[in-house]
Structure 1
Amino acid sequence: MKTTYCNQWMTGLVLTALLALAGCAAKVLDDKRLTTATVESTDGSPIVYGVRGQGEPTLVFVHCWTCNHTFWDAQIEYFARDHRVIWLDLAGHGESGSHRQRYTMQAFGQDVAAVVRQVGARNVILVGHSMGGPVAVEAAKQLGDRVIGIVGVDTFYTPFEYPASQEAIAAFVKPFETDFHGTSDKMLHSMFTPQADPAVVDAIVDKFSAADPEVGVSAMYELFDWNAHQAPADLQRFSGILYNINAAPTGEEAPPNAHVVMVPGVGHFVAQVKPAAFNQALEGIIARLTGTGDPVAKWHFNRTDHGY
């Protein structure tokens, strides 16, 4: 009886150990599905990025001015079911550091390119919101045939009139230099429709409040400068693979060789205010870029559908 009891005890101990090991193995497998790491950009700035999910094409989400990767949380969670998803914080944003004085779109593009190369991703679709659009274009210039598509979200072709001359840019940026957080707060609240969920608005505004004014002022100036000097040629260069969500060059026609999808009833923060509708729109674009969607030559929408 004593021997039997000891055998049972030993068997139980072994089973417990095996279950514990299995749990550890499962944790390792889970960790492999969500990897967070750091890579140096061209100027040595440490760029924090994350990789989640598996499947082609790889989606790279690029956040907007003074934001961070958490603005894409709903998209990362959703699209990681079928795709490898990459997020990052641009230099001077979120968890990433910075060794730069000027926050140019080209330098931000180098941040994205460094991450994509580090991961070894090919068949990449770059998704950029607002300032993330120009950043995605700059990244595409460096990544070459790794990029099969660029999706601009409320960027490039919007009702917003970008200041073009150096004097106009300086005048627009001046209030941000004087009172960065106060001016940013007013601007942000103007970017939502009256119907927007106050909790969503507050959450977004709170995240912006953590922004570094020095980074924000420089990035805003460089964004306007890029739009005035680089945008026309660069957008034409990538027109064959450029898709737009909530942006069109006129109220009646889509940009050359590109599709336009409008999510109505939202302001600037399309993916955050209406994540389900945005995800559906992006799914359709992915299908067209990969040749798995219904062939539609162009989608035409009036800008009044934009919602602000």
Structure 2
Amino acid sequence: MKSLLYLAMVLALCAGISSCKHKKTNLVGGADSGKIAIHNNGVNIAYTDTSNISDTTLFFVHGWAINRSYWAKQLTYFGKRYHIVSIDLPGFGQSGKNRKDWSTRAFASDVDSVIAALKLKRVILIGHSMSGDIVLQAAIDNPDKVIGLVGVDNFNSPGAPQTEQDKKAYAAAVLQLKQHFKRTAIAWFNQQLFSKTTPADIRERVLKDVAKADSVIGVASLEGGNDFNEIAKLKEAKKKLYLINSDVHPVDSTYLIANKIPFKIFYVPGSGHFPMIEHPQVFNMSLDNVILDINKK
């Protein structure tokens, strides 16, 4: 199913707005920077690919309604030690929009296409927000190439059951997005995805990106992951799950423990939903520790 952090946020949004009866970073990849053009079923995938100075690749995948420029500080910090790849998911950023399937499986196949095109071998997948599910599926698709799986402010309650009331409220909230995308999405982000200390310039940056997102794709990408069973997929992946999360929405690890899924959590204190840009130094140190732990295996 869809990550329950998202379900909780949409439920809160539904209750809050209806009754429920900076500087732009130029991170250009693909043909524009002299690198090979990558397509998945005819859809162009814009990406950033640093010099290959390591056999380990950190592969960053952004979250809902944003783009790969959100990883700029990670590229700077880790780029001197590791091979770095980041992409714009199709439908967002500079990637193509010419398809109708916006499911988790379709987005994972985009990641698969980049791994194959760049001939990556030792990959640590790092997925923010909705892309936690996307990189999880990509890890399943590439068992011999993916050595690490990292979620960023996601997997907050994997395996928790959804009631019929939950499902109806989620559907009602999605309907609100369909009818008033910009207003609804901005209200959702303001109410649920920023902390009290999120800087004003970061709020402005995120809200601008959300406001200009394609509304049809934005809604479809949320609906396309609602049946993704995270616990079942984590069992299938057979990978330790690393989480770098805000402490605003602490992880409920009940079902991870019950299903004997190995995991390790690093919290970024005081961060909202975007720890990689809100507290990049703490985030980067946490990811450093994740990489150290992965390399111990």
Quickly name the TM-score band, shorter chain normalised.
Answer: 0.7 to 0.9
Cα distance change of structure 1 residues 47 and 90 upon mapping to structure 2, 3 Å threshold: same
Q: 118-127 or 167-176, which moves further after superposition?
A: 167-176
Equivalent residue number for residue 207 of structure 1: 209
Change (3 A) 1:87 1:170: same
Q: How does the TM-score come out when normalised to structure 1?
A: 0.76
State the match for 2:7 in structure 1: none
Identity of aligned residues (%): 30
- Are positions 1:173 and 2:174 aligned together? yes
Q: 1:215 to 1:252 in 2, by over 3 A?
A: closer
For 1:67 and 1:35, the matched residues in 2 are separated by: 24
Partner of residue 293, structure 2: 288
| Paired position in structure 1 for 2:24 | none
Q: Distance in 2 between matches of 1:153 and 1:285?
A: 12
CA distance in 2, matches of 1:205, 1:258: 32
Are 1:248 and 2:251 counterparts? yes
Higher relative contact order (CA 8 A, sep 6+): 2
Q: Could you say what secondary structure the match of 2:144 adopts?
A: helix
| Contact 2:57–2:120 (8 Å) recurs in 1 | yes
TM-score norm. by structure 2 comes to: 0.79
Unaligned runs of 5+ in 1: 1-33, 293-308
Q: Does 1:275 align with 2:276?
A: no
Secondary structure of the structure 2 residue equivalent to 1:140? helix
Q: For 2:44, which of 43, 46, 53 is the aligned residue? A: 46
Deviation at 1:273, TM superposition (A): 0.6
2:262 to 257, 276, 296: 257
Equivalence for 1:266: 271
Offset, 1:35: 5.7
Partner of 1:298: none
Cα distance, 1:162–1:133 mapped onto 2, change above 3 Å:
farther
Q: 1:143 to 1:100 in 2, by over 3 A?
A: same
| Deviations 1:32-91 (CA, angstroms, capped at 9, x unpaired) | xx76543111x3211111201321310000010111111111111211110000011111
- Structure 1: distance between partners of 2:285 and 2:179: 41
CA RMSD, 1 decimal: 2.4
Flag the structure with larger Rg.
1
Q: Distance in 1 between matches of 2:180 and 2:286?
A: 37
- Within 2, Cα distance between the matches of 1:162 and 1:194? 30
Give the superposition deviation at 1:248.
Answer: 2.9
